[in-house]
Amino acid sequence: MQMLRFEIKNKPQFGDSHSAGTLKTILEDTGIELSSLETIKAYNINEALSPTEAQQIKNDLLCDAVYQESREGFAYAKELDYDFAIEVAYKNGVTDNVGRTTARGMSFILGRDVNFGNVRSSAVYFFKGKAGEEAKISIAENVLCNTLIEDYRIFTRESFSPIDYFSYQPENTGKPYFDVINLEVSDAELEKISADRVLSLTLEEMKAIREYFRKDSVKAAREKMGLPTDPTDVEMELFGQTWSEHCKHKIFAAEVNYKDGNETKTIKNLFKTYIKGSTDKIKEKRDDLLSLFKDNAGVVKFDDDYAYCVKVETHNSPSALDPYGGAMTGIVGVNRDIIGTGLGAYPIFNTDVFCFGSPYTEDENVPEGLMHPRRIFRGVHRGVKDGGNESGIPTVNGSITFDPSFLGKPLVFCGTGGLMPLQVNGKESFEKYVQAGDQVVMCGGFIGKDGIHGATFSSVQLTEASPTSAVQIGDPITQKKMLDFLMEARDAGMYSGLTDNGAGGLASSIGEMAQFTNGARLDLEKCPLKYAGLKPWEILLSEAQERMSIAVPKDKVAEFLALAKRRDVEANVIGEFTDSGMLECFYNGERVSTLDLEMLHEGNPGLKIDAQWTAPKQTRAESNIVCGYGELLKTLLARPNVASKENWVRMYDHEVQARTVNKPFTGKENDGPSDGGVLKVFPDKNEGLVITHGMTPRYSRLDTYQMTANVIDEAVRQAIILGANPDTLVGLDNFCWPDPVQSEATPDGTYKMAQLVRSCEALYDFSIAYNCPCISGKDSMKNDYRRGGKKVSVLPTLLFTVTGKSDDITKTVSFYFKKPGKKIYLIGKTKAELGASEYFEMLGIKEGIVPTVDNPEKTFAMYKKLAEVLKKGLLDSAHDLSDGGLAVALSEAAFSGNTGASIDVSVLGAELTAEEKLFSESPSRILVSVDSANEKAFLETIGQENAVLLGETNDSDFVEIKDAEGVLVRETLADLKDGWKTALDF
Amino acid sequence: MKPKALILTGYGINAEKELKWAFDLAGAEGTIVHLEDLIENKKMINDYQILGFPGGFSFGDHIASGKVFANLVKYNLFEEVKNFIAADKLVIGICNGFQVITKLGLVPSFDNSYEPVVSLIDNDSGKFEDRWVYLDVENDKSPWLKGLKKLYVPVRHGEGKLVARDNDVLERLKKNGQVALRYTTADGSPVEYPANPNGSVYDIAGITNEKGNVLGLMPHPEAYISKELHPRWTEGIVDEHTGLDIFKNAVAYFK
């Protein structure tokens, strides 16, 4: 069949902002300056169409004649004036979302089905300007496409020849359906099997598996079932997946031998001792914690009719390789955790936190084989933006942190909160009700080799034929359709339970759900595939996106599948939940795996890890600087960690669903940085949800206990500032650590493990003191880069996300000064704590004392008083102090409110130096402004000892900070704001 | 009796819930209906007085925003929708819904031709942006806009730059009074980016059909249905009109 191709391009008079943006990115990322670019979209179609049909498709679907023009065939390559061109398309087998939508659109017009594989989209970039061959390749590979998932071809008018998009034919999977793996081999051979098959199983684990297969009872049973005595590849992959660090959290479950000086202790299990330990203790006094640590997300009671759930995940490695795709699957993946909680919740907010190397990193300092942090930043941001926006979920909270330690691996945290009725058809919504006999239904997308064993680099050219297993491709719209369908099916009582297919695919989701009934059977050939040629183990492990596994009672299957079809959602019965005690897989009727569920879930031998704490020395330090603080403040404000992220945040939809009453950026010009998100959950009620987070990896350089204390303190403090009721707070812990297991590659493993223990101890102490239990969490433990003797490890990082209920959102106070003549108070104590501060980082000073939360009980009592102050409506503004300390918080409150301020910091104590008063990052502090009519009531409620009067707002254009010796800072609002506002515009 | 509003959803529409809230708060009775269910039961449309095309990312904005959803309506429901409009009932398309009804030709529909002569294309900034904008209500002959002069509401889109096929189309839009809403500034200063957030010709934010009973607009009035949704409400700002007034107008039209 002759391939049909339509090329579409904007008419010249309408311009093309995308092309302009692409030229700018090329210049920024590669330094190559080109004079012009014309971009065309192409649709390559392998479908028999009559000439009339072809015209109809072109005119009604592909080309908008108001502003576009079109050609048939490879026309523009001959017609346009250009020096060179690059055509970009997805590799064979990679999901082509535009191609799929085009096929759907064609079917609407033609009134008949069009196979997804019969349409492939591509883009052609026609450049004018000079570029050598190497430069052209650089443009293609660094800007226009990601070679993991896309191919490109560079051509000129002379060298052009048409591209065949439809020659690739994958082969069907034939027998044998599995390999048999002999484990009766030497230790070295066992390790080699694990490495060659990318199972990531340790020698001890391989031996434990061998012991299982040596059991007489297992041998006899396998013989009876017609399985070989030795394990099949399907079974080994199941072990590899279920026992992976990602799924099993072996480090948090390990037995730790911890030494600090002469003190030694043994911790049986970090997770159970500290994280679950503190939550269990708090749970005794709270009745709003409905479901903890057992489902995809923790569930908390919201009111008498509704509950909410929250989950935060990391997607670091995928985002390092494919920033756009990795981050997008991060956000839509955590959305699915929420959709798959209990009987299903509807996502109502996202929160996104990133850590990157500095955007100003010199090229030669970027580790070999990795992308420049600016490119990772841009890609990650775009992925999260598209994922969130297209799903219709507002991004209401987040932050971006920069540090050289993230050059080796970016950290990408994606979180989502969801809302669910407390009862669904008379059942508690936060439980699952799966019964033996229920059918396993897989919903959503098709299965490909996506994400199997992570990424493998590929260098095939545009027309070469090979599916890539590299990375996952997200399609938010497929997922949105599935979400709407599942909510409809939930309310109609069509299923008994569901869960997300994320990491580990079906192996993980069915492996987990099988525990409800103690068994499951899968018929893998019934899974819909993107293309032929997948082996049974690949079908089981694929991380292809937008899929959920649902348990549907037999008598509901027909109506469930019928509704799925009406809602344009793929759904197929692929097996059954059983009570056999086994996870059994078949392919075309042949048994390919059968494993004891108990062995799979409880048989891991576990780890023993040593930890040795040697406290870094902390001594008070100071710079030699005695004047010019105004200039320093301006430089500090323009540093990436402090500077405005508005340019990026404004690209997120932060108010779809009409709930966001505290927006990420607010102020007189709508451009000041809020302390967190507040949602008015229902339009006719004033109850709300507050979302905040804390993260300061810098402090880990000195002490992870205080890093953790600060992080929890900050998140809780912000939640209180934004009106959360202190009795309703809950937290989520996300640890991202470098590998903490001592080995040749990690000679400082015992120290890193001790850092983890100390962090967990602080989490235990502070979650109890702040009545803020962890309801869910996730860890990512091997965030190191190694190549050619070079190693970059991330700073030990904890993201602590807090949510709480606001009893009355109409009492919410924003952070910026509103009017002149208001009293400015500082709540909390300022101490000589510049260690690891943004100010000392700027000056390159490594010494100093880390910010320390002294007395958590006393601090929380103060926060409760602050909550009283807010309830009484006594404040005009309240702003959290964080990076850059008092001077930065004051500047932000002033310039965001177009309101001058004059303060005297001598009241903070003569024992402090000027720079400590200005820039110390002592925790537990809040800058507030108060009308003099409320001053007395404010002081009585907060307590005289907790607040100190600093000065007043005024109608000048200046921020003025005085000390006993005179003026330290006097700068105009505009001067302070300018550098802050534009530093990250790129 | 409360007027009934049919709010379409499906295929990636995502702002249907708050559009229902808006109609309900304004005194109508909103019902969210999947497009597929309406196609299957076309007569259902006769039970309603108002038809809403909400915002979202139908079909992922693939090919062009709103295009594929518009085709689905065109090849299955076009007669019913035309009859609905001819019966003086009300239609509103917001954001992606505006893109859909524009590509379907419901606006501006000169001489009831339903010929698409304007389109909504990539913002000049090249970016999706969420920001609040001031709007001048250019004419209040549309039932949707009666009594309104100025509005402050958010835009949230990447493809909202209104372009006309040629200058005649633009002149005719102006002459007919079909330019419904224009981007403006708080203080009357010249309108530049970001006050005009996308580069729309003549700062157009919304247009109607000739009769005015079909309104399409990029900004989101349904995102401002309580005073706390204003970005600076904590300063005590209470606007005379919120987005809700557009929906109250629709309800009043049937009283």
- Percentage with pLDDT > 70 across chain A: 98
Residues A616-643: what's their mean pLDDT? 94
CB of A800 within 8 A of CB of A718? Answer: no
Q: Which residue matches tokens 């996506």?
A: A450
**AA letter at A369:** G
Q: A180 in helix, strand or coil?
A: strand
Compute the residue count for chain A: 986
C-alpha separations of A905 from A635, A915, A932 in Å:
21, 11, 20
Instruction: Say how far apart CA B231 and CA A674 lie, in whole Å.
Output: 11
- What does the block give as tokens for A921? 């990052």
Note whether A17 contacts B34, CB cutoff 8 Å.
Answer: no
Instruction: Say how far apart CA A709 and CA A761 lie, in whole Å.
Output: 10
The residue from B95, B159, B230, B241 that is catalytic is: B95
User: What are the tens digits of pLDDT across the range A768-827?
Assistant: 999 999 999 999 988 988 877 788 999 999 999 999 999 999 999 999 999 999 999 999
Note whether B128 contacts A385, CB cutoff 8 Å.
Answer: yes
Q: Which long-range contacts (CB under 8 A, 24 or more apart) does A215-221 make?
A: A218/A596, A221/A594
pLDDT at residue A553, as a whole number: 98
Tell me the pTM. 0.95
Which residues from chain A sit within 8 angstroms of residue B14, using beta carbons?
391-392, 480, 656
| Other Cβ atoms closer than 10 A to A375 | 18
Note whether B122 contacts A814, CB cutoff 8 Å.
Answer: no
User: SS3 letters for A496-527?
Assistant: CEEEECCCCHHHHHHHHHHHHHCCEEEEHHHC
pLDDT at residue B251, as a whole number: 98
What angle, rounded to 10 degrees, do the helices at A476-491 and A323-339 form?
Answer: 0
Instruction: Say how far apart CA A790 and CA A570 lie, in whole Å.
Output: 46
**Domain range annotation of chain A:** 4-155
Q: Which residue matches tokens 């935060």?
A: A312
CB of A648 within 8 A of CB of A354? Answer: no
Residue of B nearest to A392 (CA): B14
What confidence category does residue A453 fall into, taking pLDDT thresholds of 50, 70 and 90?
A: low
Q: Which CATH superfamily groups domain A4-155?
A: Phosphoribosylformylglycinamidine synthase subunit PurS (3.30.1280.10)
| Pick from B18, B103, B235: CB nearest A657 | B18
Instruction: Say how far apart CA A157 and CA A647 lie, in whole Å.
Output: 39
Strand arrangement, sheet containing A84-90? A68-72, A4-10, A36-45, A119-128, A84-90, A150-155
CB of A669 within 8 A of CB of B187? Answer: no
- Percentage with pLDDT > 90 across chain A: 82
Nearest Cα to B7, choosing from B25, B28, B33? B33
Q: How many beta-carbon pairs below 8 A join chains A and B?
A: 176
What confidence category does residue A1 fall into, taking pLDDT thresholds of 50, 70 and 90?
A: low
pLDDT at residue A472, as a whole number: 65
Q: Which long-range contacts (CB under 8 A, 24 or more apart) does A199-207 make?
A: A199/A236, A199/A237, A199/A239, A199/A240, A200/A240, A200/A244, A200/A245, A201/A239, A201/A240, A201/A243, A204/A605, A205/A239, A205/A243, A205/A604, A205/A605, A207/A605
Which residues from chain A sit within 8 angstroms of residue B22, using beta carbons?
658
User: What are the tens digits of pLDDT across the range A178-197?
Assistant: 999 999 999 999 999 988 88
DSSP letter for A555, please.
G
Which residues from chain B sit within 8 angstroms of residue A569, using beta carbons?
none
Cis ω for the linkage preceding B194 (within 30 of 0): yes
Q: Tell me which of A502-506, A798-802, A964-968 is least confident.
A: A502-506
User: What are the tens digits of pLDDT across the range B195-233?
Assistant: 999 999 999 999 999 999 999 999 999 999 999 999 999
Do the bridges between strand A439-444 and strand A520-523 make them parallel or antiparallel, or are there none, so unpaired? unpaired
Burial of A800 (0-12, 13-18, 19+ CB in 10 A): buried
Q: Which residue matches tokens 């966001």?
A: A660
Name the helix (H) or strand (E) containing A398.
strand A395-402
Q: Is B16 a catalytic residue?
A: no
Instruction: Say how far apart CA A838 and CA A840 lie, in whole Å.
Output: 6
Contacts of A624 (CB under 8 A, 6+ apart): none
Q: Which CATH superfamily groups domain B4-253?
A: Class I glutamine amidotransferase (GATase) domain (3.40.50.880)
Q: What is the DSSP string of A48-112?
A: ---HHHHHHHIIIII--TTTEEEEESS-HHHHS--SEEEEEEEPTTS--HHHHHHHHHHHHHHTS
The residue from B16, B18, B138, B222 that is catalytic is: B222
Instruction: Say how far apart CA B169 and CA A489 lie, in whole Å.
Output: 47
Ranges of residues in chain B with a pLDDT under 70 are none
ipTM: 0.97
